[in-house]
């Protein structure tokens, strides 16, 4: 369920919250692009962490998934 919620959050962030201008200027405004992903991923994970895990074990249910998502997203973007 967590994976599906994160996938849904990613789809919303990439296709609904990003304007065409943001997509076209990803490299030019890389800091804004990264901030967009950090904020949306952090909010989605915080909601899932609170709802499903009642804010227990921050390292396993928030920090490690957050780091994994950020690292894999950067690798995928660099390979494109």
The string of pLDDT tens digits covering residues 29-74 is 778 777 877 888 888 889 888 988 889 998 888 898 888 888 887 7
Give the per-residue pLDDT at 26: 74
> Does position 80 have pLDDT exceeding 80, yes or no?
no
Mean pLDDT across the stretch 15-36? Answer: 77
**The CA-based dihedral angle spanning residues 68, 50, 42, 79, taken in that order and rounded to the nearest 10 degrees:** 30
Query: pLDDT class for 5, splitting at 50, 70, 90?
Result: confident
């Amino acid at each position: 369920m967590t994976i599906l919620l994160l996938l849904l959050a990613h789809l919303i962030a990439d296709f609904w919250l990003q304007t065409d201008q943001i997509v076209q200027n990803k490299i030019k405004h890389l800091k804004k692009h990264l901030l967009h992903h950090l904020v949306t991923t952090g909010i989605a994970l915080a909601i899932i962490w609170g709802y499903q895990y009642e804010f227990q074990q921050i390292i396993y249910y928030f920090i490690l998934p957050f780091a994994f998502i950020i690292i894999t997203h950067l690798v995928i973007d660099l390979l494109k």
